[in-house]
Amino acid sequence: MQLLNAQTLARLSGVKLRARAVMEGVLSGLHKSPHQGQSVEFSEHKEYAPGDELRHLDWKAFGKFDKFYIKRFEHETNLRAVMLIDASASMGYSSGGLSKLEVAKVLAGTLAYLLVRQQDAAGLAVTHGSSCSDLPPRSAAGHLTTLLETLEGLSPQGTTDLAAAADHLAEKVTRRSLLCVFSDLFDDRPDGLRRLLQLRARKNDLAVFHLVDPSELSFPFDDPTLFLSMEDERRLEVNPREIKQSYLEELGAFLAESRKACAEADVDYELVRTDEPLDSVLLRFLARRQGRRR
């Protein structure tokens, strides 16, 4: 399988085309995996009683124990999922290839494709500043088209406000759902991520895709540089060599705290570099979730 890196995806036009390309890579990877997911999972045996479904008789168990046993299955209800996209201005940053927002749109679009393909419902919530908008989860193919077109039209603007996004989802998501968050988590409010993680306590399944640009991880600047804030008017001119070590330490602490907060809340956490193959990101995510269910 040829993995799709950011440079390859950047040459494709539009969220729909990029998401379909990543989905094909994910499906190819799942096809090769021995741990493919199923919508109906075997749970346990029970001794046959009159009225039980004969088609569920386990003939191997009969041959071994000389008794009739019925296979019980755990029927999963259709999954409802909401993709929360942080469309704040900082998500527009890119040092080459796709921006953080573009990566978020492709990942969310791909997951929506996969969900609707297996007849589950996918929805979308978008946040920038204190403004939030949403498309309720549905499983229809026409709804998927609307969702992808909405993703296509997103542009980065405003500030990051995870607390406002949490309040919006708490109000709109009234049934137990899978909530996938796509954000760089650059929120000035110290309680932003914590407020978002509290949605897990409402019986929702929560996954955080923490998006970072490779230059944010390595800080590859040498000459005196003027840094401009993407979400307000702040400007800072510095010698990067003098602050690089302290910056990397602060960033490392920020990433560690984010991962720890998610782990303590029993929330899936994926650190996503915007230059890595996105199909491998989703395969890693799906494999871990499958492993938790086994």
CA 90 to CA 184: how far, in whole Å? 8
Per-chain mean pLDDT for the chain = 83
Kindly state whether residue 116 falls inside one of the protein's structural domains: yes
CATH of the domain at 140: 3.40.50.410
51 and 151, same structural domain?
no
pLDDT tens readout for residues 116-157: 888 889 999 999 888 899 999 998 889 999 999 999 999 999
pLDDT exceeds cutoff 90 at 60: no
DSSP per-residue string spanning 42-82: EEEEEE--TTS-GGGB-HHHHHHHSS-EEEEEEEPPPPEEE
Band the pLDDT of 2: cuts 50, 70, 90.
very low
- Which residues, in sequence order, are CB contacts of 142 under 8 Å at separation 6+? none
Alpha helices in the chain (DSSP H): 6-10, 15-32, 59-65, 100-117, 141-152, 162-172, 192-197, 214-218, 240-264, 278-293
pLDDT exceeds cutoff 90 at 203: no
44 and 108, same structural domain?
no
280 and 225, same structural domain?
yes
Domain tally, the chain: 2
- Which of 24-28, 97-101, 104-108, 207-211 has the least mean pLDDT? 24-28
pLDDT tens readout for residues 5-14: 555 555 555 6
196 and 127, same structural domain?
yes
248 and 106, same structural domain?
yes
pLDDT tens readout for residues 160-202: 999 999 999 999 998 889 999 999 999 988 899 999 999 999 8
pLDDT cut 70: percent of the chain above it = 76
Domain that includes residue 68, residue range: 40-75
Kindly state whether residue 254 falls inside one of the protein's structural domains: yes
The pLDDT of residue 106 is 92
CA–CA–CA angle 239, 240, 245 (5° rounding): 125
Domain end (from 19, 50, 75): 75
pLDDT exceeds cutoff 70 at 249: yes
pLDDT exceeds cutoff 60 at 36: no
